[in-house]
Amino acid sequence: MGQSASNPLATCLNAVCNGRTDCVAYPDNALYQVSWVNRYNLDLPVTPIAVTRPQTAQDVSAFVKCAATNNVKVQPKSGGHSYANYGLGGDDGALVIDLLNLQDFSIDTKTWQATIGGGTELADVTNKLHNNGKRAISHGTCPGVGIGGHATIGGLGPSSRMWGSCLDHVIEAEVVTADGSIRRASESENSDLLFALKGAGAGFGIVTKFVVKTHPEPGSMVQYSYSLSLGKHTDMVPVLKQWQDLVSDPNLDRRFGTEFVVHELGIIITATFYGTEAEWNASGIPQRIPKGKISVVIDDWLAVIAQQAEDAALYLSEIHTAFTVRSLAFTAEETLSEDTITKVMKYIDDTNRGTLLWFLIFDASGGAVSDVPMNATAYSHRDKIIFFQGYGIGLPVLTQQTKDFLSGIINIIQASTPQKLTTYPGYVDPSLTSPQQSYWGPNLEMLESIKTTYDPNDLFHNPQSVKPENKISMKQ
């Protein structure tokens, strides 16, 4: 499709495709921007030099070599859910390698380790694991997110407090590096590369296959939801404080995952408890959370995943829109005081938001995620117990007013703590002044060294990715 561009890069890419249709598209192709580029955030225009769709790791290797030879940057795209369109390069002019066709799946029924293609979306990961032994891994709630980005950046979801993040399940990866080599990365082979892939993957290579450990699906689950509409957002201060006090408890039952959402009309709290109703009651959580709607699900993991996806769709649908997003992460010492919560809610009540579609989402973390040492993987937010994301969605156009509204919330929260709050690279915040430090903090120096080993020319590049040591002075 669209093998019409004529320049050295296109000649190389076309040769790899060898006449295959649906293998490469260029900007002069009518469907290129609509179906091949397909931006997630319509507020941020991007124009990749080309989009390729490899069938095999060998194709990926050949496309990477084409880019390197022609001095063109590369970014892999898995599900395409980057808030800043980084799977499309972020910067104009990158070569996008879309892993859509890399959907391999197999499972070893002796070890229960699964091999999953780098282009598989989370909905398919769930179904394939379910259909092959009723197995499961921890991951987020949006079904269209691709495992390629999710398992190389963190991958947080309702079961993370119980099982760890998605990347904590990765045992081994098949990865194409900047020289076009197809390598294995594991604890025993290229272990430094595995360290980098588990938290900063987009800057280090293209994972074509993951080998992951799996768990038996939970038997019984309790789902909880609570919604409240009040006249003013300031009326909701005690409820957010109550929720935050609960999730700040270091002894909180790890089978409990929960989210607190503030929106135009009120608040929603959702939660999943991976256990029986008796265990839920014995956990003490029902006495410490607002009295909400309880449903007990017996051995129906897929139904719970579907419900969580539906909850997520309230504020993060599969529809591609123009939006702005800001994010922060909190340790137990950095959580919001009642005074700060009051300031945030009063600010919301008093400020023109520029849109009716905005959401502040607080996610509980910690638990098993915090068991892993900070320097065991690139993921550096082991000490965080809450993640915050603020979204403003344009109807139909995103206004500066909406961007300023979210910036104001961030400023109030930042002003309330002496520390500079950091954030998680899965919740891309394009406005950060020192993103690498914010995303990878104590692990950044090690990552820059590994980047220099495997990708000294910064072939795998987006505006906020890890840079090699010789390029650090050029960082934005």
Name the helix (H) or strand (E) containing 200.
helix 191-200
Rounded Cα distance, 426 and 55, in Å: 26
On whether residue 45 sits in a domain, the answer given is yes
pLDDT, residue 33, reads: 84
Is the pLDDT at 475 greater than 70, yes or no? no
pLDDT, residue 474, reads: 45
Beta bridge partners of 364: 386
Rounded Cα distance, 410 and 172, in Å: 37
Same domain, 225 and 197: no
Q: pLDDT tens digits, residue range 334-389?
A: 999 999 999 999 999 999 999 999 999 999 999 999 999 999 999 999 999 999 99
Among positive and negative, which fits the CA dihedral 17, 20, 22, 28? positive
Same domain, 48 and 158: no
On whether residue 53 sits in a domain, the answer given is yes
Side-chain-side CA neighbours of 293 within 13 Å: the count stands at 8
CA dihedral 210, 467, 165, 338 (to 10 degrees): -160
pLDDT, residue 60, reads: 98
pLDDT tier, 2 (very low <50, low <70, confident <90, very high otherwise): very low
Q: pLDDT tens digits, residue range 50-86?
A: 999 999 999 999 999 999 999 999 999 998 889 899 9
Same domain, 229 and 353: yes
Rounded Cα distance, 389 and 400, in Å: 18
Rounded Cα distance, 59 and 61, in Å: 5
Specify the number of domains making up the chain: 3
Rounded Cα distance, 262 and 316, in Å: 14
Spatial CA neighbour of 282 closest among 250, 243, 247, 256? 256
Spatial CA neighbour of 211 closest among 77, 112, 76? 112
Same domain, 242 and 312: yes
Q: pLDDT tens digits, residue range 29-38?
A: 988 988 899 9
Q: Where are the alpha helices (DSSP H) in 321-368?
A: 338-350
Same domain, 209 and 224: no
pLDDT, residue 310, reads: 86
Same domain, 154 and 229: no
Q: Please provide residue 290's backbone torsions phi and psi, each rounded to the nearest 5 degrees.
A: -55, 145
Spatial CA neighbour of 204 closest among 458, 463, 474, 471? 458
Is the pLDDT at 3 greater than 60, yes or no? no
Spatial CA neighbour of 83 closest among 410, 397, 321, 261? 321
Asked which of 193, 216, 239 is the last residue of a domain, the reply is: 216
On whether residue 449 sits in a domain, the answer given is no
Q: Where are the alpha helices (DSSP H) in 314-395?
A: 338-350
Same domain, 21 and 78: yes
Q: How far is CA 71 from CA 89, 95, 270, 457, 460, in A?
A: 14, 10, 48, 9, 11
Same domain, 291 and 375: yes
Same domain, 13 and 143: no
On whether residue 83 sits in a domain, the answer given is yes
- Residue 463 preceded by cis peptide, ω within 30: no
On whether residue 358 sits in a domain, the answer given is yes
9: helix, coil or strand? helix
Q: Which of the pair, 36 or 476, is modelled with greater confidence?
A: 36
pLDDT, residue 472, reads: 58
Rounded Cα distance, 304 and 297, in Å: 8
Beta bridge partners of 215: 136
Domain with residue 370: its CATH number is: 3.40.462.20
Same domain, 379 and 402: yes
Same domain, 385 and 415: yes
> Domain range for residue 195?
105-216
Same domain, 79 and 155: no
On whether residue 461 sits in a domain, the answer given is no
Domain with residue 171: its CATH number is: 3.30.465.10
pLDDT tier, 466 (very low <50, low <70, confident <90, very high otherwise): very high
pLDDT, residue 437, reads: 96
- Identity of the residue numbered 262: V
